[in-house]
């Protein structure tokens, strides 16, 4: 294994090299590249959404690998390609094994493969659970900003589900200028709630933190509600809980019954991706037989083609696009390369002679 010097750039086939290079980027390196860069990453995610809206990306349907003997588990493949200045292809391979939690392991694990857009050769493998959490949190913070611009900015946030994603979302909200008078916490696991409260104390928040035993109390006392659970089907079905018209970041996608969505204004990141795999918006489409309940995409809001109303709850349901993982992953790669910290695997590619 060798390290690439700080003067090196990203070619899969560097100038003067006889073979493509391949780097492995660890979770520690990913964390170092992203730590404290919330504003930059949100700006990167916004630019990627705009590229996607302009048609300068390829984001085919995700593929779900499921197991008859392990129905709660799945591994998802998200292939994608990003144009613009990012100019990279690749795939995220992310697993969700909820039973890990009881064993003390995080539910999700992931890797990201980056492919050179000119040759197709993979040039890096990155630990990607942090990248995935980062792009999810950056997308949530971006949506919270744009969807609250025509409404009163929320000052009371409630986290329904208090795992890794909730922590990253809070970090990205505060890292992009949000402050709250009150933070509500609700989780079916008391240990998870306690751990999240410990994180909040370490974050030096000045907000009043309340642990809610009742899900209804959490929702009713928050004007920004973050759903970050591992729910496989809707468990919140009463639209009356949302009668105070909060902004809802429906990150986990399957918490809300169709009745709640149909009583709200709904925005997604990508219509075709979000309305599948029995997500809450997909269930609403099946219930009504149409997509008329959708008000638009986040890109529509950013372009001024749609605006969230003030007199209804506003729900953002992002499926999570592979193009965001690629953009953030390429950012991490460039940071590692610029710091001279790329760990290259010598002779990863073998027998590159066409005729032997």
Distance between CA atoms of residues 191 and 211, nearest Å: 12
Instruction: Calculate Rg over the CA atoms of the chain.
Output: 21
**Range with the lowest mean pLDDT among 3-12, 129-138, 205-214?**
3-12
Two structure tokens written together for 267: 């925005």
Return phi, psi of residue 134, to 5°. -65, -45
Q: Please give the residue that has the higher pLDDT: either 16 or 308.
A: 308
Q: Using one digit for the tens of pLDDT, what is the confidence trace for 318-343? A: 999 999 999 999 999 999 999 999 99
CA torsion angle for 28, 34, 35, 36 (degrees, to 10)? 170
pLDDT for the residue 68: 96
Residue 121 has pLDDT above 50, yes or no: yes
Q: Using one digit for the tens of pLDDT, what is the confidence trace for 56-112? A: 999 999 999 999 999 989 999 999 999 999 999 999 999 999 888 888 888 889 999
| Residue 230 banded pLDDT, cuts 50, 70, 90 | confident
Question: Where do the DSSP E strands lie in 188-309?
Answer: 208-211, 224-227, 247-250, 265-268, 294-297
Q: Using one digit for the tens of pLDDT, what is the confidence trace for 167-218? A: 999 999 999 999 999 999 999 999 999 999 999 999 989 999 999 999 999 9
SS3 of residue 76 by DSSP: strand
Two structure tokens written together for 139: 């997308």
pLDDT for the residue 199: 97
Q: What stretch of H or E contains 237? A: none
Domain ranges of the chain: 2-131+322-344, 135-317
pLDDT for the residue 20: 84
The verdict on domain 135-317 having CATH code 3.40.50.300 is: no
Residue-averaged pLDDT of the chain: 93
On whether the pTM is more than 0.85, the answer is: yes
Residue 12 has pLDDT above 60, yes or no: no
CA torsion angle for 158, 163, 164, 167 (degrees, to 10)? 30
| Residue 18 banded pLDDT, cuts 50, 70, 90 | low
Nearest to 23 by CA among 350, 349, 342: 342
Say yes or no: do domains 2-131+322-344 and 135-317 share a fold.
no
Q: Please give the residue that has the higher pLDDT: either 307 or 8.
A: 307
What class has domain 2-131+322-344? alpha beta
Convert 246-282 to b/e letters by CB count within 10 Å (16 or more is b). Answer: bbbbbbbbbbbbbebbebbbbbbbbeebbbeeebbbb
Q: Which residue has the tokens 């499926």?
A: 319
pLDDT for the residue 92: 98
């Amino acid at each position: 294994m060798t390290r690439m010097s700080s003067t090196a750039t990203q070619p899969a086939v560097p100038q003067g090299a006889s073979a493509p290079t391949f780097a492995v980027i660890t979770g520690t390196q990913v964390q170092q590249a992203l730590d404290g860069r919330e504003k930059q990453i949100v700006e990167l995610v916004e630019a990627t959404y705009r590229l996607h809206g302009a048609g300068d990306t390829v984001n085919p349907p995700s593929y779900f690998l499921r197991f008859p003997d392990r129905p709660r588990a799945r591994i998802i493949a998200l292939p994608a390609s990003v144009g613009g200045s990012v100019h990279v292809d690749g795939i995220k391979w992310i697993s969700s094994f909820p039973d890990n939690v009881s064993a003390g392991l995080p539910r999700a694990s992931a890797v990201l493969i980056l492919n050179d857009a000119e040759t197709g050769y993979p040039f890096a493998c990155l630990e990607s659970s942090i990248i995935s959490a980062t792009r999810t949190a950056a997308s949530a913070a971006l949506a919270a900003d744009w969807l609250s611009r025509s409404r009163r900015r929320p000052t009371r946030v409630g986290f329904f589900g208090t795992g890794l994603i909730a922590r990253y979302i809070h970090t990205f909200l505060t890292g992009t200028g949000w402050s709250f008078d009150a933070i509500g916490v609700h989780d079916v696991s008391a240990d998870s709630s306690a751990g999240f409260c410990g994180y909040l104390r370490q974050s030096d928040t000045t907000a009043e933190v309340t642990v809610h035993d009742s899900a209804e109390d959490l929702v009713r006392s928050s004007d920004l509600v973050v759903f970050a659970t591992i729910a496989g089907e809707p468990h919140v079905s009463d639209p009356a809980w949302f009668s105070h018209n909060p902004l809802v970041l429906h990150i986990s996608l399957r918490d809300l019954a169709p009745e709640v969505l149909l009583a709200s204004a709904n925005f997604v990141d990508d219509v075709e991706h979000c309305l599948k795999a029995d997500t809450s918006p997909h269930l609403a489409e099946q219930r009504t037989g149409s997509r008329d309940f959708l008000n638009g995409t986040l890109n529509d809001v950013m372009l001024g083609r749609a605006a969230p109303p003030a007199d209804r709850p506003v729900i953002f349901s992002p499926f999570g696009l592979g193009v965001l993982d690629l953009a953030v992953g390429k950012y991490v790669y460039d940071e590692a390369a610029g710091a001279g910290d790329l760990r290259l695997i010598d002779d990863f590619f073998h027998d590159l002679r066409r005729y032997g």
